[in-house]
Chains A and B, each alone.
Chain A
Amino acid sequence: MNITNIKSTYGYVGFLPFAAFSLIPWIIGGDISKTLIYFQLGYGAIILTFLGGFAWGWRDDQKDQKFNLSIGIGFSLLGCLILLLTYLKLILTSLLLSIISFYLFYIFEKSTEDFKKKDIDYRKFRKILTLLVCISFLISSGYWINPYSNPYL
């Protein structure tokens, strides 16, 4: 198995919790659905922090090194902010911020020299994965504000 295949397999396995946490609330409803959305936000925040962390390390031979390092730190801080907002029960804000952050990270990664050198399969995989993660947050946002499924009702 080449490295792209290994990365995409792990990537999709990593997506499974996102899918489960966003779909199960629609199926089972009730109070537990709230907890599952908290889990999704927590899991997303950890992934985002991790992504920011490895962005810090992967760009020693890049142009604009300082700027890129700041962006790497920025994404880790965004992950922390999402956790804080979730703790403060600002769930919808956290969900929307997660969608924006994951999409921005993809844009950031796409702009790097490394990404341009990657094979087409990897680039396709990153695009699909980002899309899927954003959709999973969108589905959870729908559940959170839908008046007929709101876990508080």
Chain B
Amino acid sequence: MEKKLKSHGAWIGKWTFILAATGSAVGLGNIWGFPYKAGTNGGGAFVLIYLLCIVMIGVPIMISEIIIGRRAGNSPINAMKRTALDSNSSSLWRLVGWSGITAGVLILSFYSVIAGICLNYIFIAAFPSEVLTSSDQFGAVIASPLNLLFWHTVFMLLTFLIVSAGVKNGIGRMVKILMPMLGFLLIFMVIYAMFNGAFVRTLEFLFAPDFSSVTAETFLSAMGQAFFSLSLGMGSIMAYGAYMPKDQKVVPTSFTVASLDTLVAMLAGLAIFPIIFVFNLEPNSGPGLVFVSMLSAFNQMQFGQIIGTFFFILLSIAALSSSISLLEPGVAYLSEEGFLSRKYSALAISFFAWSLGIGTALSFNLLSEFNLTPGRNFLDSMDFIANQILLPLGGMMIAIFVGWFMNKELITNEVGYINPIIYKLWRFFIKYIAPISVASIFISQIL
């Protein structure tokens, strides 16, 4: 007899899913990764390739995850299992759900440490040091295990509180506050940069197409960005899809989420680089850009304390809206199986991720020489296992499952009426293009 699984509720209104999924997709990677990749890989040429990859890889996999999640109305593990059984396939497909949840928890463990640094930087930008340079400041922040652990704990606590409050009252309510705030802060930063920064140079850097610098690497980079920036393969979209109202159209919703994610990434570039170029700082990517270059710019500019504080609040919001989506799939699984209540499920997984995060926090200082896997410290190992192995594998398996194994009738019932040409294109992308592309991302990362 089939086990009765606990229900989690549903989003209120169609925009809640869009905001939640966009919040999940928009994270630190969009803000510190996309603009730099675009600028150094051919500008407009990269953006074009990226958009193509979004349409051919990102959106098809997102549609697949939503279909599976919404149809079953369960956590990714049970959703994969139910859909596989209903399609006369092996229940072992649930391992894809397990892989997603594992990746989510591993990512949350180190994401929380980095996001904790963002929280810390809100205060650093508001009350800048007059003796330390931005580079020394960053060094001082990461050299202190206690400081990192404190902010890691604060961030994890925030994530836990939101997720434990439930789908409607916790995540649903918070994304309706966080995402408009993120949008407002981002637009404020762009307007500020448009009036005061090297905006023309930024437009050239980001959008002037330079097809001579397009290589095979550019395609891989664009494919990777399109896949990773949409939070695919980790079960978040599948879990959020489970709470999506039945009358909401899957395909247009997926395109809206992908468009908003891309828009935020582009706006982030338009907000950050005009300031970087004014002060002739290095337009590198990752923590070096936001914690060193941006802080240095804020310290030198007029009203830098205010703008800098806004900027780090923006980053923290982006991180928080993503972290709740990393925690949700695991919490949904534990609570629907009846192992623990939602609150205790959230507490258990948060505590586990927090404990793993200690290793990440220490890998910046006390354990910097310790290698968990060959040649990689704790943080790099977590990143390698989750981002470079589990996510691409999960994404690829979801594409293969929906493209080759899932019952077509179940798909069409869930998708509803769409233009037959769009449906055929989607089938083609999910059957052939998406698995091959994600496999090439996977292989290129491993090699």
Residues of chain A touching chain B, judged by Cβ–Cβ distance below 8 Å, are: 26-27, 29, 138-139, 141-143, 145-149
Contact = CB atoms under 8 A, between A and B. Distances in A.
Interface in B192-208: 194-201, 203
Contacts of B400: none
B74 to A, nearest CB: 37
B214 interface: no
B200 A142 contact: no
Given A138-B191, A142-B191, A149 B196 contact: no
Contact of B195 (A26, A27, A29, A146): A146
Interface of B: 191, 194-201, 203, 274, 278
Nearest to A149: B200
B200 A29 contact: yes
The 4 closest A-B pairs by CB, nearest first: A142-B194, A148-B198, A149-B200, A142-B195
Nearest to A139: B194
Nearest to A29: B200
Contacts of A145: 195
Of the candidates B195, B201, B278, the one having the most CB atoms from chain A within 10 angstroms of its own CB is B195
Contacts of A139: 194
Contacts of A148: 197-201, 274, 278
Given A138-B191, A142-B191, A148-B278, A26 B196 contact: no
Contacts of A138: 191
Contacts of A149: 199-200
23 contacts: A26-B200, A26-B203, A27-B203, A29-B200, A138-B191, A139-B194, A141-B195, A142-B191, A142-B194, A142-B195, A142-B199, A145-B195, A146-B194, A146-B197, A146-B200, A147-B196, A148-B197, A148-B198, A148-B199, A148-B200, A148-B201, A148-B274, A149-B199
Contacts of B203: 26-27
Contacts of A29: 200
Nearest to B278: A148
Nearest to A141: B195
B281 to A, nearest CB: 15
Contacts of B274: 148
Contacts of A147: 196
A52 to B, nearest CB: 29
A142 B274 CA distance: 13
Contacts of B194: 139, 142-143, 146
Nearest to A142: B194
Given A29-B200, A139-B194, A147-B196, 11 more contacts: A26-B199, A141-B195, A142-B191, A142-B195, A145-B195, A146-B199, A146-B200, A148-B197, A148-B199, A148-B274, A148-B278
Contacts of A143: 194
A27 B200 CA distance: 7
B429 to A, nearest CB: 31
Of the candidates A26, A141, A147, A148, the one having the most CB atoms from chain B within 10 angstroms of its own CB is A148
Nearest to B208: A27
Contacts of A142: 191, 194-195, 199
A140 B223 CA distance: 35
Nearest to B190: A142
Nearest to A144: B195
Contacts of A26: 199-200, 203
A131 to B, nearest CB: 12
B191 A146 contact: no
A139 B191 CA distance: 8
A141 B319 CA distance: 33
B203 to A, nearest CB: 6
Nearest to A25: B200
A139 to B, nearest CB: 7
Contacts of B195: 141-142, 145-146
Nearest to B204: A27
Contacts of A146: 194-197, 199-200
Contacts of B278: 148
Contacts of B198: 148
Contacts of B199: 26, 142, 146, 148-149
A145 B274 CA distance: 14
A148 B194 CA distance: 10
Of the candidates A26, A27, A145, A146, the one having the most CB atoms from chain B within 10 angstroms of its own CB is A146
A147 B275 CA distance: 12
A104 B292 CA distance: 44
A49 B376 CA distance: 68
A29 B196 CA distance: 16
A145 B191 CA distance: 12
